[in-house]
Amino acid sequence: MLSSIKQALWGKLTGEEFKRFGILSLTLLLILGTYWLMKPLKDALFAKMVGPDFYPYVKILSFWFTIPLILLYSKAVDLFEKQNLFYIFSAFYGSLFFIIALLLAHPTIGLANTTPSKYRILGWALYVTIETFGSLMVALFWAFVASSTNTDSAKRGYALIIAGAQIGTIAGPYIALSAPTLGIPLLMFCICGGVALVPVLIKIFTHFNPRAAEHHAPSLKTGPIEGLKLLLTRPYLLGVMGVSVLYDIVATILEFQMVSLANSQFHSTEHLARFLSYFGLMTNGSALLISLIGTSFLVRRFGLTFCLVIYPVITAIALLHILWIPALYVVVGALVVIKSLNYALNNPCKEMLYIPTSRDIKFKAKSWIDMFGNRSAKAGGGFLSTFFTQAHELIFYGPLLSLGVVGVWIIIALYTGTTHRALEKSNRTIE
């Protein structure tokens, strides 16, 4: 009976696949677990150190920091074997988080200073650092996975990766609940330890799966903007970018609504962080449930195109609920639905879209989509939010603007899904 349930949920997942996807699941667990531990902290810290009114502007600032980071990443792809990229960027971000933890404990620069100001550079810096960490490390991970698997195996195993990762995204906010007792600087030191374990798991994975590792120096022929050139000249990749980033415009607008409403109700940094941690727990708990019982089944039963299209349709329904009842609990509920479906369903589906593509696309074009596209979408959502200075304006016009984005999103999802199906049937690769 258990075997029949396992087959219904994940298909004929072999023992070798289970071990391989299990290690990858633990890796993404650490990446997303540390990020989701930082996420409520960064939002609470920025709101109390700088002020919630500057939330849209820090999204725009993150966008501008992303461009040189993508160029650095693209050059690193040319110079280093793909598994070594984890060692390099884990060391880079681990060092930055260690420095931030020390500064947060400083008596004037850090948390002891309770006066919010737009000149609190530490608030801006920690927000941008955490945002770029989420974009770069997740993009690197999925590029590594896509280069190590095929579509049939991905349909069975990607749900296992997501399920394990959601355990990390639940553990992160749960640990963040202890911010009032443990203190935020200590939690930042814990984050450093989590980041340090990522390259250890990659080393274990390549040891047991030597075919997944590169054992030669990558080509130096292409430049750091090669990924951008590929993106702009391949309609399929533009479609993948639409599926990947249009969600972020909607989510950014709704997150600004939620943080603005919550900031007026929770007056201390720690208690606002606790509220945002509970939000993270609800979101990732829902995503875990969906990934365990629904992701693999839905993709195998209804196909990739259906899953790509149904997600924006559900998003539109959630937005209509906000227009109907414009209250904090409704915004929170809508965000839980939208984000959990993004993590459990849309993310694995969009990552499958990269399987029939070349190495340069998986690592270079994907980085422009996941980092530049993601930051652009969030900056766009932040920019649109700046037009509404009053909370009642944002709560009404924000969902209306988002519904327009969703309409475009549905069309792009339909095109991209059908194109992927044609590529799979003809066994062609996008170069």
Give dist(CA 231, CA 244) in Å, integer: 13
Lowest mean pLDDT among 1-5, 10-14, 344-348: 1-5
Most confidently modeled range among 136-140, 263-267, 337-341, 393-397? 337-341
Query: At 209, is the pLDDT very low, low, confident or very high (cuts 50, 70, 90)?
Result: confident
Fold of the CATH domain 2-426: Growth Hormone; Chain: A; (1.20.1250)
CA triplet 394, 395, 399: central angle to 5 degrees?
A: 95
Read off the pLDDT of residues 66-92 as tens digits, 9 standing for 90 and up: 778 888 887 887 788 888 899 999 999
Beta bridge mates, 357: 430
Read off the pLDDT of residues 284-319 as tens digits, 9 standing for 90 and up: 788 888 877 778 788 888 889 999 999 999 999 999
pLDDT of 394 reads: 65
Amino acid (1-letter code) at residue 382? G
pLDDT of 388 reads: 64
pLDDT exceeding 70 applies to what percent of the chain? 91
Average pLDDT of the residues in 95-106: 88
Read off the pLDDT of residues 338-379 as tens digits, 9 standing for 90 and up: 998 998 889 888 888 888 888 778 877 887 887 777 777 877
* 127: nearest Cα among 33, 29, 51: 51
pLDDT of 408 reads: 94
Query: At 213, is the pLDDT very low, low, confident or very high (cuts 50, 70, 90)?
Result: low
Phi/psi at 430 (nearest 5 deg)? -80, 120
pLDDT greater than 70 at residue 405: yes
Note every long-range contact of 261-269, with CB atoms under 8 Å and residues 24 or more positions apart, other chains counting: 261/328, 261/331, 261/391, 262/328, 263/47, 263/52, 265/328, 268/48, 269/44, 269/45, 269/47, 269/48, 269/111, 269/184
Q: How far is CA 346 from the centre of its chain?
A: 11
pLDDT of 406 reads: 92
**CB neighbour list of residue 276: distance below 8 Å, 6 or more residues apart:** 39, 40, 43, 44, 173, 176, 259, 262
* 232: nearest Cα among 136, 68, 364: 364
Residue extents of the structural domains in the chain: 2-426
Q: How does the average pLDDT of the chain come out, rounded? A: 82
* 238: nearest Cα among 229, 249, 226: 229
pLDDT greater than 60 at residue 403: yes
pLDDT of 220 reads: 47
**CB neighbour list of residue 67: distance below 8 Å, 6 or more residues apart:** 372
- Tokens 């993709």 belong to 299
Read off the pLDDT of residues 242-254 as tens digits, 9 standing for 90 and up: 998 898 888 888 8
- Tokens 């990766």 belong to 161
* 44: nearest Cα among 333, 279, 249: 279
pLDDT of 183 reads: 78
Query: At 4, is the pLDDT very low, low, confident or very high (cuts 50, 70, 90)?
Result: low
pLDDT of 143 reads: 82
Read off the pLDDT of residues 406-425 as tens digits, 9 standing for 90 and up: 999 999 999 999 999 988 88
Q: Which two tokens stand for residue 70?
A: 């993508």
Query: At 160, is the pLDDT very low, low, confident or very high (cuts 50, 70, 90)?
Result: confident
Specify burial of residue 428 (Cβ count, 10 A radius: 0-12, 13-18, 19+).
exposed
CA triplet 46, 199, 87: central angle to 5 degrees?
A: 80
Read off the pLDDT of residues 171-205 as tens digits, 9 standing for 90 and up: 887 888 777 778 788 888 888 888 999 999 999 98
